[in-house]
Amino acid sequence: MAVERKKILLRMDPVVHDALARWAADDLRSTNAQIEYLLRRALADAGRLPSGVGRMRRPGRPSKEDDDE
């Protein structure tokens, strides 16, 4: 069963958003996925990432194996 994802409103400087969107495109991620990736990395670096956190999907187009799930 899929877990419903939380939705938040995030306000940020347009210049920061543009830089983040370019970085996300370079990594083949959406801007939203890039934000989540960076937050997870920051949590892990700080030792605050909970052990029960699910895996993020890899960047780019889903593989055929992912379609079978």
**Which of 28, 35, 30 has its CA nearest to residue 9?**
35
Q: What is the pLDDT of residue 69?
A: 52
For residue 27, tell me if it sits in a domain. yes
Q: What is the pLDDT of residue 1?
A: 58
pTM for the structure as a whole: 0.75
For residue 28, tell me if it sits in a domain. yes
Give the tens place of pLDDT for each residue, 13-54.
Answer: 999 999 999 999 999 999 999 999 999 999 999 999 999 888
> How many domains does the structure of the chain reveal?
1
- pLDDT bin (cut points 50, 70, 90) of residue 64 is confident
Helical residues (DSSP H) of the chain, grouped into ranges: 14-26, 31-45, 64-67
For residue 57, tell me if it sits in a domain. no
Above 90 in pLDDT, residue 67?
Answer: no
For residue 31, tell me if it sits in a domain. yes
**Domain that includes residue 31, residue range:** 14-43
For residue 53, tell me if it sits in a domain. no
For residue 4, tell me if it sits in a domain. no
